[in-house]
Chain A
Amino acid sequence: MTDNELCKLLKDSPEAGQRAFYDKYFNYVYTIVFSRLKDSASREDIDECVGDVFAHCFFYFDKQSEISGSLKAFAATVARRKSIDTYRSVTRHSSRNMSIDDAGEISSEENITEAAENTELRRIIYDKLGELGEPDSTIVIQKYYYGRSSREIAHIVELSAENVRVRCSRAVKKLRALLAESGITR
């Protein structure tokens, strides 16, 4: 469904439109929220935050006489904003006393160089991850990024938990070998 079709559906049949919007952008929104909160919030907080993002999107759509523009960009903006709110509500400290050195860290020359190197490294890792094929690449991602248990991954890839464990172990060995072939050993 294109964004234009989705915009029309949101006005013609709001609930169906909201569901379609949710289905289309769930992965995207969840990934944005997760990337920002994974180090500070619990799984429940992240789920609540994602739910809140969509609630605000639905509410916004209700208020518009006409919906236009990039729904993806809109969803991303709301997701980033709500992530900040959630971060603030789950942490008990702020960055106000961050030293100047830390502030400068992100723009330092060394880090920009490092970032360029990392970009290449990331491309290789993406490629090698893709070479694992499905469902192995999804299993590895779910385990090592989203931190999900084999049982939870089993629901996602529709395999048994035991099967997920075995596949994961083999996939990691294979991935390690593929990365080593590309010169990534550490």
Chain B
Amino acid sequence: MQQSGEEAQGSACGVGNNALKEDIDMKDKLDMIFSRDEKDIEHISEKYPAAGKKEKKKIYEISRRRYDELRAEDAGDDGYIKEAEGVERYNRPVWYRGMCAAAAAVILMGGVGGGIMLSRSSRIQHMNASSDINAAATTSATITNAADSDRNAVVDRLMSNAEMITKPQYPETDSIDRNDEIYFNMDEFSFTAGRVVNLTKYYYAVADERLDTMEELTAVLNETFIYETRSRYIGGDLSNHEVGYDFRDDSLANRYVRNFITYNGKVYALSCCEGDMNYVDSFDNRYNFSSYKLISSEFQEGDDMYSSYMFSDEDGQPIPSSDIIICKRVYERPDGAKVTSRIKITQEKGEWKIASFGSNTEDDETFAISDGLTVSSEEPADNGGEFAELQLHEQNICSDRDEALALYAKIAQTADEGGYTFKKVDTGKYAQQIIEASSFDELNTLENKSFVYHMFMNSYRYFDTADVSYTYDVESNESPYYSKNRCIADNKGKYFYLDYEYEKGSDHEMTTFYMYNNKWINADNMKKVYSECEADEVDYEHRYIPDNDLFIRYYDENGNILYMDSLSTVVMGGKCSDCLYHDTDVLYDFEKWHIEDVENILGRECVSVTMQDRAYSEHMCIDLYTGIVMSLTRTFADTNETHTMKVASIKTGQPIDYIYFNADGYVNETNNS
């Protein structure tokens, strides 16, 4: 917040530098007590007025005006508000909320944003007004519909350009000169950190001769993207700044520190990821369309009903969604994995251009492991060639304990008889929907939250193999501890390995759990002893319980809601439950949590979720495609104890080498345990 003119003038005219410095010192001190911590907010709001009477009155008038607008919208015919469960309220996306920059920025960074811009109707020249909606071409070779052929030719051309523009932003490609690197710093708000953080932006000199001058780059951008989208690519000429310059005090830095900048006469591209790292979201895995085989290409006229993002044309006028065409393409990479791409196109001054594009991969689903060393293609037949319908969340609470017991028995019996069959839901569709959400309400629709809940509770059904290293630490005044973990799992191969090193005060523990051949082995690597026991059948596929039936609750005679039992199908003995296998009802009550944002962790698109309970608060980042929890922070209200889980490295869906227990030097204590 800027100081008022009066204060600034006072500082400049009379008080001098020392007084100004003292002012800043005092502000720094006081800033410390104004954190976003709930205790600070309560303390400040209880003790001090937040505004004067005049401002308070003005804000009240704003609230009345907005309230009247909401009521007027509600009186409309579109059923703006939908009730869910009689308690929680979900707002349908509202078009006028659409001018959200966050979603647009997504387009640039990950190519997965949602938005489109059209010129006004009078200037629209449809490619073929009579073409069928959703007309699909099954393969590139069998595109026979003339309209779709026309459209596909347009999309081919545009995507070729988009690929060319995207490539220099990935440092592993040959479109940049890795030896010519510059960087700048700037402040950006981080929802993960909950505050503004100072980020280093790395740039590499563009080596692609078609893009290595700003004139050429601008020309390609002009013929590829609509005005609003292409504007976000082009930054400024930063030659007047030293490499490494920190733009933290420049509130306009985001206008020129963008994806492409000029420096000393050369064009530089912002690096989307670290150059020497191997990411699932690499260019080759996600955007190298020209090397993929086109499997299908479908068109839809009009934007998604869920998309509340509205672009503006060059005159700042909003574009109607009906003027948008979405092309959904499925490609096959050389390694056999599928890449799904969604491209939104529209016309600008009679020319078709991209408003947004993005792609999802199925890396996690590429391989199935029949044993520790053999790789075979995964059978997508699990889903019978189609996706299951996402079950929208309902919090069923039985009227009394007897009813709960009866329900429990019925669900258990149905499960035992194989009455429930699991099918994967369309993760790409829902993940995209969440990624494209441009407001809190749009993020937190019942559908999106149900999807996150589904992925969380069924994580192990969405990856076959995983090799993950993570830390789990407890910060506590009384009993802090630190642990390092490595977990290797093969769900279909029924193999599990957890190596666990733990420190608590003077205690130091090193334990490894193995599960294979229907046997658990628990090895104490410090004492050199081990024990074995039979493992329950890890038959997660056939022990599926629908999401809404996993937890059963009921009202007691005083109207309190009690938890009766869980039908959760705990796998792997409940181990690694904070990361790979979740058996908790933490997200069951939708009133207690919400989706904060989407973020990329270790190359994975994750949804960040915040939960508030009486006993503790929790923040989790959940992989949208596997349900794996990538990070977790849990703070307990009574003790202020903080538990932190953080994934350091992870691979899923890839061949793994099993590690078997070697009993040499160990004493078998099975009979003693």
Interchain CB contact (< 8 A) of B646 among A36, A107, A175: A107
Interchain CB contact (< 8 A) of A60 among B2, B89, B441: B89
B63 lies within 8 A of A40 (CB): no
Q: List 20 A-B contacts (CB under 8 A).
A: A26-B51, A27-B46, A28-B45, A47-B59, A51-B59, A55-B62, A63-B83, A82-B440, A85-B440, A92-B254, A98-B193, A102-B193, A103-B599, A109-B473, A126-B33, A138-B48, A145-B34, A147-B3, A150-B7, A152-B52
| CA gap between A125 and B105 in the complex, in Å | 39
| Known A30-B50, A95-B191, A99-B199: A107·B633 in contact at CB below 8 Å | yes
| CA gap between A19 and B66 in the complex, in Å | 15
B-chain residues with CB within 8 Å of residue A38 when the two chains form the complex: 1
A84 lies within 8 A of B6 (CB): no
A94 lies within 8 A of B642 (CB): no
| CA gap between A141 and B34 in the complex, in Å | 10
| CA gap between A52 and B440 in the complex, in Å | 14
| Known A22-B60, A43-B1, A149-B6: A107·B48 in contact at CB below 8 Å | no
Complex interface bits, A32-44 against B, C-beta within 8 A gives 1, otherwise 0 = 1011101110110
B188 lies within 8 A of A59 (CB): no
Q: CB within 8 Å of A: which of B37-55?
A: 38, 40-55
A177 at the interface (CB under 8 A from B): no
Interchain CB contact (< 8 A) of B49 among A27, A54, A82, A144: A27
B-chain residues with CB within 8 Å of residue A155 when the two chains form the complex: 52-54
Complex interface bits, B86-120 against A, C-beta within 8 A gives 1, otherwise 0 = 00010000000101111001100110000000000
B409 at the interface (CB under 8 A from A): no
| Known A22-B60, A96-B600, A175-B26: A89·B51 in contact at CB below 8 Å | no
B-chain residues with CB within 8 Å of residue A71 when the two chains form the complex: none
| CA gap between A27 and B59 in the complex, in Å | 12
B238 at the interface (CB under 8 A from A): no
B189 lies within 8 A of A40 (CB): yes
Interchain CB contact (< 8 A) of B70 among A59, A107, A144: A59
| CA gap between A55 and B621 in the complex, in Å | 31
B192 lies within 8 A of A88 (CB): no
A118 at the interface (CB under 8 A from B): yes
B-chain residues with CB within 8 Å of residue A47 when the two chains form the complex: 55, 58-59, 62
Complex interface bits, A105-125 against B, C-beta within 8 A gives 1, otherwise 0 = 111010010000010011001
Complex interface bits, A145-167 against B, C-beta within 8 A gives 1, otherwise 0 = 11111111001100000000000
A50 at the interface (CB under 8 A from B): yes
B639 at the interface (CB under 8 A from A): no
Interchain CB contact (< 8 A) of A35 among B35, B51, B109: B35
| Known A47-B62, A93-B105, A156-B49: A176·B26 in contact at CB below 8 Å | yes
Other contacts beyond A52-B62, A97-B270, A112-B642: 10, CB < 8 A: A32-B36, A40-B189, A54-B63, A59-B74, A62-B71, A96-B600, A99-B200, A100-B602, A105-B197, A155-B53
| Known A39-B1, A149-B7: A88·B101 in contact at CB below 8 Å | yes
B15 → chain A closest CB, angstroms: 9
A104 at the interface (CB under 8 A from B): yes
B-chain residues with CB within 8 Å of residue A28 when the two chains form the complex: 41-42, 45
B436 → chain A closest CB, angstroms: 12
B357 → chain A closest CB, angstroms: 16
B319 at the interface (CB under 8 A from A): no
A31 lies within 8 A of B101 (CB): no
A49 → chain B closest CB, angstroms: 9
B105 lies within 8 A of A94 (CB): yes
B25 lies within 8 A of A186 (CB): yes
Interchain CB contact (< 8 A) of A34 among B50, B56, B190: B50
Secondary structure class of chain A's binding surface, majority of residues: helix
| Known A149-B7, A172-B22: A103·B193 in contact at CB below 8 Å | yes
A87 lies within 8 A of B71 (CB): no
Nearest A-chain residue to B36, judged by Cβ: A35
A2 at the interface (CB under 8 A from B): no
Nearest B-chain residue to A51, judged by Cβ: B62
| CA gap between A114 and B32 in the complex, in Å | 12
A159 → chain B closest CB, angstroms: 12
B-chain residues with CB within 8 Å of residue A32 when the two chains form the complex: 36, 41, 45
Complex interface bits, B429-447 against A, C-beta within 8 A gives 1, otherwise 0 = 0000000001111001000
A81 at the interface (CB under 8 A from B): yes
B102 lies within 8 A of A94 (CB): yes
A89 lies within 8 A of B101 (CB): yes
B526 at the interface (CB under 8 A from A): no
A91 at the interface (CB under 8 A from B): yes
| Known A31-B41, A98-B188, A105-B197: A141·B30 in contact at CB below 8 Å | yes
A98 lies within 8 A of B34 (CB): no
| Known A22-B63, A26-B56: A141·B89 in contact at CB below 8 Å | no
B508 → chain A closest CB, angstroms: 18
| CA gap between A40 and B196 in the complex, in Å | 9
B490 → chain A closest CB, angstroms: 27
| CA gap between A89 and B102 in the complex, in Å | 8
Most A CB contacts (10 A, CB to CB) among B69, B192, B255 go to: B192
A31 lies within 8 A of B49 (CB): no
Complex interface bits, B14-36 against A, C-beta within 8 A gives 1, otherwise 0 = 00000000110111011111111
A7 at the interface (CB under 8 A from B): no
Interchain CB contact (< 8 A) of B26 among A39, A142, A144, A147: A144
A184 at the interface (CB under 8 A from B): yes
A99 → chain B closest CB, angstroms: 7
B244 → chain A closest CB, angstroms: 16
A28 → chain B closest CB, angstroms: 4
| CA gap between A175 and B642 in the complex, in Å | 33
A56 at the interface (CB under 8 A from B): yes
B199 lies within 8 A of A97 (CB): yes
B631 at the interface (CB under 8 A from A): yes
B4 at the interface (CB under 8 A from A): yes
A10 at the interface (CB under 8 A from B): no
B594 at the interface (CB under 8 A from A): yes
Most A CB contacts (10 A, CB to CB) among B33, B254, B274 go to: B33
A144 lies within 8 A of B27 (CB): yes
B665 at the interface (CB under 8 A from A): no
| Known A125-B32, A155-B53: A98·B59 in contact at CB below 8 Å | no
B188 lies within 8 A of A95 (CB): yes
| Known A59-B70, A94-B109: A39·B189 in contact at CB below 8 Å | yes
B66 lies within 8 A of A95 (CB): no
B91 → chain A closest CB, angstroms: 9
Nearest A-chain residue to B258, judged by Cβ: A93
Nearest B-chain residue to A54, judged by Cβ: B63
Nearest B-chain residue to A73, judged by Cβ: B612
A9 at the interface (CB under 8 A from B): no
B185 → chain A closest CB, angstroms: 11
B45 lies within 8 A of A27 (CB): yes
Complex interface bits, B479-499 against A, C-beta within 8 A gives 1, otherwise 0 = 000000000000000000000
B341 at the interface (CB under 8 A from A): no
B-chain residues with CB within 8 Å of residue A118 when the two chains form the complex: 32
| Known A59-B70, A81-B441, A146-B50: A95·B65 in contact at CB below 8 Å | no
B85 at the interface (CB under 8 A from A): no
B67 lies within 8 A of A58 (CB): yes
B644 at the interface (CB under 8 A from A): yes
